[in-house]
A and B are shown apart, each in its own frame.
Chain A
Amino acid sequence: MGYKKPSFIENMAEKLGIIPNLHKEGYQKFDGDMRHFTDEEVAQLYENFPPPEKWDNWVEYNPKVWPKKEKKTYQIVPTTCFNCESACGLTAFIDKETQQVKKFEGNPYHPGSRGRNCAKGPATINQITDPDRILFPLKRKGKRGEGEWERISWDEALDTIAARIRKAIKEDRRNEIAYHVGRPGHEKFMNWILQGWGIDGHNSHTNICSSGARFGYNLWYGYDRPSPDHSNAKFILLVSAHLESGHYFNPHAQRIIEGKMKGAKLATMDPRLSNTASMSDYWLPSYPGTEAAVLLAMALIILQKGLYNRDYLENWTNWQEYLEAKHSDKEVTFENYIAAMIEEYKEFTPEYAEKESGVKAKDIIEIAQLIGEAGERFASHNWRAAGASNLGGWAVARCLHFLSVLTGAVGAKGGTSPNSWNKFSPTQPNAPKAQKVWNELHFPKEYPLAFFEMSQLLPHFLKEGRGKMDVYFSRVFNPVWTYPDGFTWMEMFLDESKFGLHTALTPTWNETAFHADFVLPMGLASERHDINSYATHGGTWVAFRQPVLREAARRNGKPVEFTYQANPGEVWEEDEFWIELSWRIDPDGSMGIRKHFESPYRPGEKITIDEYYQYIFERVKGLPEAAKKEGITELQYMQKYGAFEIEKGESYKLNEKPLTEEQLKGTEINPKNNVISKNGKDIGVMVNGKAVVGFPTPSRKNEFYSQTMVDWKWPEYSTPAYIKSHIHNEVLDKTKGEYVLVPTFRLPTLIHSRSGNAKWLVEISNRNPIWMHPDDAAKWGFKTGDLVKMNTDIGYFIDKVWVTQSMKPGVVACSHHIGRWRRPQDKIGNRWATNTVNIEGDGNGGWKMNTISGIKPFESEDKDSKRIFWKDGGVHQNITHAVHPDPISGMHCWHQRVRIEKPSEGENYGDIFVDTNKSHEVYKEWLSWTRPAPGPNGERRPLWFKRAFKPDESTYYIDKKK
């Protein structure tokens, strides 16, 4: 189907050679055999993805020269996205001629993302070809942070680091070795490594991310993440923005809309009009930190109107324990339970909730009714948002789950399951035992209940002299920029007595890597191995991230030994790096480390990456059969399809799974609470005369009443409660221009500080003005575009105002992601997205940053770098935030009390000031609100609580250790 035949004139002119001949053979005619699908398939069009049997030789027309019919042959290799945590399926289209990845599409065999992606999926190709990417291992020249680098070999990096680790372990300074991770997502690989080294060396970003919600969920049912079954729901309530961000944005967004199209109603609680709120049937613009009050008001209505699920409450909550503990005067009957709950929450009338939150009482009543009517088909989610922003933010998830409990939606079809029910956990070769050390720089005594490492306090701990980090790895982790109080991080990074050797493992430059000793380039989505499994819906899957050029080389009969041999430059991947490093730490095996990293198939020899994954995939339920059917190994199956569906949406109500007779042998039943135990370990519970698994809590049920909270000195929170936030209206002096700043929200196009290397994403979003309601703007004399000085507890930043009807009055907001920077000495690094800034410290804790220039076009091998049409690179706000660790969950409470004012003469857009002495004071103030360990039996942490990289039980007892 080309254009018309040439006219007489054109024909003559072409024949005479006056103009190029565009009618030569092959120019406009296409081959009939190029159609890969039947007429019916073409009529349907949708999901005509290349069939796997053609993946090694897929022919399409080259769009760049179209309508010239030039064939392009691709090899299609699946992998998973490395932008947000969702790990959606991608397929790399590798040009067979050039052996370069040409584009990324979705992977229809990925059960989470189902062949579809968000904007960040296709933009992966930008990250691969970013002219500013780091292609070789680098070592700093000059002082740390000076910005001078030299290329080194992987051997030099490995040997230097290994020697230092070996020395620390031999000198029993195990707690001076740590791996600090931003983007995780390789399912237990690091447990294998770090526990193999015998260190308690894992530090995460979770406390600035999701540990608040995790804590709230965990208190109820021993699982720390929800897995809402949106597509089967009748009512969906989000304290999140899952139509644009969050875990797991694309998979969840697909299913929320699917549910909506099937008739579900959607309500979203958010002080600003997120895209999600905009798509909702109900937008509930709650005042930040009051979400729990609204949720409790809904709970009260459900209780009062009798809309609750009686069976579920009776069988699956620990109400007897609650009545005995808190209402010992009353008879233990179900009716008394309901009455007691109504009594307990009587103050949470819709009117009270409206007064607290600003959400209309009428909406609260209407939604509570709809939730009650939806019953088990009530899906809900809180991940970050309110849970990550407020003192007591963990109570939001707790109160939200309360609604799921009341309706019986926990684990129901169309309800909300624990994420672990929809998540695969691998079995690893030569798995090491739990470490016998406890690192108090990660889990200090002050925060016995902290759900994850107190990572945001690390620089303050170091400042106080609680310890040092002799060997520190930051892995796709950028605390200088992303964390609150980045200047304190910078101070500590610049002090070699605090951070001995800092190695940044990262695919792209970032503000933290500028302060490293080694910068080691690690692969992006299509350049590394990982396995992923996430609770995206009522089903379970495992996906395989793989270096696609390496896999293509293997298929083409030219296998390589190490991934960096196939990747661009010498970009490597962590998996092989860690195995290699582990062997170099313990080359002769005398330290007991090497043995964990030996091949399970070739005793005594180093495990290969293929062996590691083959070992795991052999143990995935159903995968050996699927592989056998195709006559390939389990690993080859995953290399081919990139994902495997382990279980398809039937894992509901797993708490009701009966214990097998085998399991029941030798068990005891606790007469008080019917909990079944075996060899001192709880394994189930008797419900209605049946022995079932239950939940992993002390009562094996949903714990409306938490004895744990009582035992650990927080009796006031023994039941779901509303905790007034640190930015509650009462604590703000509105007459002085004090506001709450919502600094957390994300855009669908960006991902923290990892997407500054994607030009198509930065092109869409590159500035971050302050959202302000017109009334507030008028009150303080601001108009859109005016500069505003945002004074935090420890300093200020100067941004521009964006007056909008999408912001709740009395609240201001500023998006995350934007305001990236580099210093004049950092010649390259995310130049699509970075302002050039000048940083000055006064040597006494005072730090100034100002913008020298905005984003500029630059010369590079990418023609687009000269076409940068934007200049405004936004402002870095997090660096002006103080640390606010919740005294219970440990979660950083992101919301900031700010005083807004007009900047004075001489102050400019992008100016930043911070006093780190003040930030240390704020740290101490929040620290003083904690109620430190020990708890019962001298424990440092409740034994039943999950912990990342859980150490040996012996380390849990503070005294014994001494």
Chain B
Amino acid sequence: MKYGFIIDNRKCIGCHACTTACKSEHDVAVGVNRTYVKQIEKGEFPDTRRIFSVMRCNHCTDAPCVEICPVEALYTREDGIVDFDNNRCIGCKSCMQACPYDALYIDPDNNTAAKCNYCSHRIEVGREPACVTVCPEHAIIAGDMENPTTEISQLLARQAVKVRKPEKGTNPNLFYIDGDDASLVPEATDKSGPSLWNSQARGVGHFAKSAEKMMHTNGDVDLLQMTIDNDIQAAYQKKETENPNYIDVLTGKARRVYDTPDKGILWGWEVSTYVFTKAIAAGAFLIPFLAIMLGYEVSTTAKLWSAGISLTFLALTGLFLVMDLDRPDRFLNVLLRPQWNSWLVKGGYTITVFGLLVTVWGAMSFFNIKQGETILLWVTAIFAILLAIYTAFLFAQAKGRDFWQSPTLPLHMLVHSVMAGTAIFVITSLIFGNESWMSILKNTMIIALVVNLFTLVTELTITHPTTAAKTVVKMITKGRYKNLFWMITVLIGNLIPLALMFFGTGELVLVASAICVLIGILITEKIWVEAPQRIPLA
């Protein structure tokens, strides 16, 4: 048994009945939707058409949201329905990064993820989903695709159908008859400011809370600027006349005329900062480890500083991770209701185990216990590397974000860790004193920077397989991030420290380089986390 949907565009009249029936069935909050009707127009008068596309969860056979969900809040039922349990959800929003279809949202009623669940509560009693019942045209067809007597399997057998983003390998179970790429492919049209009939001035979903907080400040302040930091904001700030959609009208290119409110950038500064602190936590261990392995003598003081820095930044990492959750009260679910395929869980355990190991090492160093240190160091090092790079695997699980699918991302994160580790020792040694092993810092930093530049170049220049990834690259190198990228990532974060270390000497030069490197990492991660989220998924 396998449930699926057909949207029959020969019949859909774009009336939005499915939208309100769904809202009614599930009491969906204003601002967010489990299903909606995207509308685009294409062509030049009088050869113009308006195309309606019902958008919702695709109930994928290989659902990336299920795979990434750390707590099994999203799960695939035996009948193929991808359902969710908001009692487990921690509000990490990774499902919203993983879903290539923008099907999920944060329900402001309880700050947990939600989406179309095929009205499984109705399916259980033998009824069809509410949208199917209401549809005046019977343009939404639900049913068991494995039973040859059902309407859906007969239509699937006889009609040419399309799915959204088949290249994602998710195997969607929502099929469009007469689907049009101009509507089904998000990049075919630009996201713009106000639509024909609606407009957005405030945040929704995850951002509804902050919008509510500001409702009494000043009604006429455009609160959007404070709540959503994304393209739609730019579209509003720009005059409507500069909107890409407006330009497309003139050329007859497809343009959006109805869309639901933008949900904004869901992984904000907490996430990019946690990647940064995590790099320091791992690097602060890895650098002295490297020195020891190279045969240098590392003092107990330095070891204690290493463990101390590592644990401090690990704690900050944990703090930012929890702060990013829409349900911070449930953060323990990651460890206690683990879904082992999720890199969030693997990461969570890595953090925990690494933290324990470093604590043990610190204690051993403090009490001067030497027995078993080498083994402990090796095991800890493995976890430190895992700690440094696991986020790359988490990002890779976020299938919605093409740019994060880069194979060099683990290297990028590892190198950042090494850079961060050297930098932090350059700086902290000012306090606890120089040691002979620290002679490796400069060379390590130089090598790391060279490798870092190599990964940077690779990530940005390797031919990207999708337009979305290409757009992100453009956004970084030529678009809205160009100043941050060229000035901070490239110049301050890499070239200046390299130059300083090549041509300058002395402690101060090294310290200046270290500070530059840390700033560079922080900003690079901000760009890397933020930019891909500006690409509309639907």
Do A and B pair up? The answer is yes
Tell me whether B16 and A748 are in contact (CB under 8 A).
Answer: yes
Measured between C-beta atoms, what is the minimum distance from B397 to chain A in Å? Answer: 19
Among B124, B336, B337, contact of A61 (Cβ-Cβ < 8 Å) = B124
How many Å lie between the Cα of A62 and that of B198 in the bound state? 32
Centre residue among A19, A45, A761 by max chain B CB count within 10 A: A45
Please tell me if B356 contacts chain A, counting CB pairs below 8 Å: no
Tell me whether A867 and B75 are in contact (CB under 8 A).
Answer: no
Tell me whether B50 and A273 are in contact (CB under 8 A).
Answer: yes
Tell me whether A244 and B13 are in contact (CB under 8 A).
Answer: yes
Give the residues from 28 to 57 in chain B that come closer than 8 angstroms, CB to CB, to chain A: 29-31, 41, 43-46, 48-52
Tell me whether A748 and B15 are in contact (CB under 8 A).
Answer: yes
Tell me whether B128 and A806 are in contact (CB under 8 A).
Answer: no
Residues of chain B within 8 A (CB-CB) of A870 are 198-201
| Complex interface: stretch among A110-118, A144-152, A332-340, A455-463 | A110-118
Give the residues from 18 to 45 in chain A that come closer than 8 angstroms, CB to CB, to chain B: 18-20, 22, 30, 34-37, 41-45
Interface contacts beyond A121-B21, A867-B204: sample of 17 additional A-B pairs, CB < 8 Å, sorted by A = A10-B338, A46-B138, A67-B84, A118-B15, A119-B20, A122-B23, A276-B13, A760-B24, A767-B194, A767-B197, A784-B246, A805-B45, A853-B220, A867-B29, A867-B30, A867-B31, A869-B201
Measured between C-beta atoms, what is the minimum distance from A45 to chain B in Å? Answer: 4
Tell me whether A853 and B125 are in contact (CB under 8 A).
Answer: no
Residues of chain A within 8 A (CB-CB) of B126 are 35-37, 41-42, 48
Measured between C-beta atoms, what is the minimum distance from B257 to chain A in Å? Answer: 8
Residues of chain B within 8 A (CB-CB) of A417 are none
Please tell me if B373 contacts chain A, counting CB pairs below 8 Å: no
Please tell me if A698 contacts chain B, counting CB pairs below 8 Å: no
Tell me whether B13 and A253 are in contact (CB under 8 A).
Answer: yes
Tell me whether A783 and B13 are in contact (CB under 8 A).
Answer: no
Tell me whether A867 and B208 are in contact (CB under 8 A).
Answer: yes
Please tell me if B521 contacts chain A, counting CB pairs below 8 Å: no
Among B51, B75, B87, B130, contact of A4 (Cβ-Cβ < 8 Å) = B75
Measured between C-beta atoms, what is the minimum distance from A831 to chain B in Å? Answer: 12
How many Å lie between the Cα of A36 and that of B52 in the bound state? 34
> Assuming the A-B contacts A122-B20, A774-B249, are A34 and B136 also in contact, with contact meaning beta carbons closer than 8 angstroms in the complex?
no
Tell me whether B219 and A261 are in contact (CB under 8 A).
Answer: no
**A residues in contact (CB < 8 Å) with B:** 1, 3-4, 6-7, 9-10, 13, 18-20, 22, 30, 34-37, 41-50, 59-64, 66-69, 103-106, 113, 115-123, 125, 243-244, 250, 253-254, 257, 260-261, 273, 275-276, 278-279, 283, 285, 747-749, 759-761, 763-769, 773-774, 783-786, 800, 802-809, 815, 818, 853-854, 856-858, 863-864, 866-872
Question: Which single residue of chain A is at the shortest CB-CB distance from B220?
Answer: A853
Question: Which single residue of chain A is at the shortest CB-CB distance from B245?
Answer: A784
Tell me whether A35 and B125 are in contact (CB under 8 A).
Answer: yes
How many Å lie between the Cα of A560 and that of B200 in the bound state? 46
Residues of chain B within 8 A (CB-CB) of A748 are 13-16
How many Å lie between the Cα of A818 and that of B196 in the bound state? 12
Residues of chain B within 8 A (CB-CB) of A773 are 45
Give the residues from 490 to 519 in chain B that come closer than 8 angstroms, CB to CB, to chain A: none
Please tell me if B142 contacts chain A, counting CB pairs below 8 Å: yes
Question: Which single residue of chain B is at the shortest CB-CB distance from A768?
Answer: B197
How many Å lie between the Cα of A526 and that of B475 in the bound state? 53
Tell me whether B31 and A115 are in contact (CB under 8 A).
Answer: no
User: What 1/0 mask marks residues of chain B from 199 to 210 whose CB sits below 8 Å from any chain A CB?
Assistant: 111111000100
Tell me whether B201 and A785 are in contact (CB under 8 A).
Answer: no
> Assuming the A-B contacts A116-B134, A857-B212, are A763 and B127 also in contact, with contact meaning beta carbons closer than 8 angstroms in the complex?
no
Residues of chain A within 8 A (CB-CB) of B199 are 766-767, 870-872
Interface size bracket, B side: 35 or more
Residues of chain A within 8 A (CB-CB) of B332 are 13, 18-19
How many Å lie between the Cα of A747 and that of B78 in the bound state? 41
Tell me whether B133 and A64 are in contact (CB under 8 A).
Answer: no
Tell me whether B201 and A764 are in contact (CB under 8 A).
Answer: no
Residues of chain B within 8 A (CB-CB) of A802 are 196
Tell me whether A863 and B109 are in contact (CB under 8 A).
Answer: yes
Among B194, B246, B338, contact of A7 (Cβ-Cβ < 8 Å) = B338
User: What 1/0 mask marks residues of chain B from 142 to 166 whose CB sits below 8 Å from any chain A CB?
Assistant: 1110010111000000000000000
How many Å lie between the Cα of A946 and that of B363 in the bound state? 100
Measured between C-beta atoms, what is the minimum distance from A81 to chain B in Å? Answer: 12
Please tell me if B121 contacts chain A, counting CB pairs below 8 Å: yes
- Closest 6 A/B residue pairs (Cβ): A785-B240, A37-B126, A783-B241, A871-B201, A61-B121, A765-B197
Measured between C-beta atoms, what is the minimum distance from B178 to chain A in Å? Answer: 11
Measured between C-beta atoms, what is the minimum distance from B34 to chain A in Å? Answer: 11
Please tell me if B85 contacts chain A, counting CB pairs below 8 Å: yes
Tell me whether A867 and B108 are in contact (CB under 8 A).
Answer: yes
> Assuming the A-B contacts A118-B15, A257-B137, A870-B199, are A760 and B143 also in contact, with contact meaning beta carbons closer than 8 angstroms in the complex?
no
Tell me whether A278 and B125 are in contact (CB under 8 A).
Answer: no
Residues of chain B within 8 A (CB-CB) of A768 are 197
Tell me whether A785 and B197 are in contact (CB under 8 A).
Answer: no
Tell me whether B16 and A749 are in contact (CB under 8 A).
Answer: yes
Please tell me if B297 contacts chain A, counting CB pairs below 8 Å: no
Question: Which single residue of chain A is at the shortest CB-CB distance from B333?
Answer: A19
Tell me whether A868 and B137 are in contact (CB under 8 A).
Answer: no
How many Å lie between the Cα of A802 and that of B194 in the bound state? 10
Tell me whether A857 and B151 are in contact (CB under 8 A).
Answer: no
Residues of chain B within 8 A (CB-CB) of A1 are 77-79, 120, 124
How many Å lie between the Cα of A747 and that of B37 in the bound state? 14
Measured between C-beta atoms, what is the minimum distance from A121 to chain B in Å? Answer: 7
Tell me whether A774 and B198 are in contact (CB under 8 A).
Answer: no
How many Å lie between the Cα of A295 and that of B52 in the bound state? 30
Residues of chain B within 8 A (CB-CB) of A66 are 83, 117, 120-121
Residues of chain A within 8 A (CB-CB) of B261 are 869
How many Å lie between the Cα of A774 and that of B43 in the bound state? 13
Give the residues from 100 to 146 in chain B that come closer than 8 angstroms, CB to CB, to chain A: 108-109, 117, 119-122, 124-128, 130, 132-138, 141-144
Residues of chain A within 8 A (CB-CB) of B121 are 60-63, 66-67
14 contacts between A and B (CB under 8 A): A1-B120, A36-B125, A45-B127, A64-B27, A278-B48, A283-B46, A759-B30, A760-B20, A785-B240, A806-B45, A808-B46, A854-B220, A867-B211, A869-B31
Among A64, A68, A104, A863, contact of B26 (Cβ-Cβ < 8 Å) = A64
Question: Which single residue of chain A is at the shortest CB-CB distance from B39?
Answer: A275
Tell me whether A119 and B15 are in contact (CB under 8 A).
Answer: yes
Tell me whether A18 and B336 are in contact (CB under 8 A).
Answer: yes
How many Å lie between the Cα of A18 and that of B143 in the bound state? 40
Question: Which single residue of chain B is at the shortest CB-CB distance from A859?
Answer: B215
Question: Which single residue of chain A is at the shortest CB-CB distance from B258?
Answer: A764
Please tell me if B474 contacts chain A, counting CB pairs below 8 Å: no
Residues of chain A within 8 A (CB-CB) of B117 are 66
Please tell me if B268 contacts chain A, counting CB pairs below 8 Å: no
Measured between C-beta atoms, what is the minimum distance from A29 to chain B in Å? Answer: 11
Residues of chain A within 8 A (CB-CB) of B193 are 785
Measured between C-beta atoms, what is the minimum distance from B481 to chain A in Å? Answer: 26
How many Å lie between the Cα of A250 and that of B149 in the bound state? 29
Please tell me if B335 contacts chain A, counting CB pairs below 8 Å: yes
> Assuming the A-B contacts A45-B150, A863-B109, are A869 and B211 also in contact, with contact meaning beta carbons closer than 8 angstroms in the complex?
yes
Tell me whether B16 and A764 are in contact (CB under 8 A).
Answer: yes
How many Å lie between the Cα of A866 and that of B128 in the bound state? 32
Please tell me if B431 contacts chain A, counting CB pairs below 8 Å: no
Measured between C-beta atoms, what is the minimum distance from A63 to chain B in Å? Answer: 5
Residues of chain B within 8 A (CB-CB) of A60 are 121-122, 125, 127
Tell me whether A106 and B134 are in contact (CB under 8 A).
Answer: yes
Measured between C-beta atoms, what is the minimum distance from A93 to chain B in Å? Answer: 10
Tell me whether B197 and A747 are in contact (CB under 8 A).
Answer: yes
> Assuming the A-B contacts A66-B117, A783-B240, are A103 and B24 also in contact, with contact meaning beta carbons closer than 8 angstroms in the complex?
yes
Tell me whether A805 and B196 are in contact (CB under 8 A).
Answer: no
Question: Which single residue of chain B is at the shortest CB-CB distance from A855?
Answer: B201
Measured between C-beta atoms, what is the minimum distance from A365 to chain B in Å? Answer: 17
Measured between C-beta atoms, what is the minimum distance from B392 to chain A in Å? Answer: 25
Tell me whether B125 and A785 are in contact (CB under 8 A).
Answer: no
Centre residue among A244, A765, A870 by max chain B CB count within 10 A: A870
Tell me whether A869 and B203 are in contact (CB under 8 A).
Answer: yes
User: What 1/0 mask marks residues of chain B from 332 to 351 whose CB sits below 8 Å from any chain A CB?
Assistant: 11011110000000000000
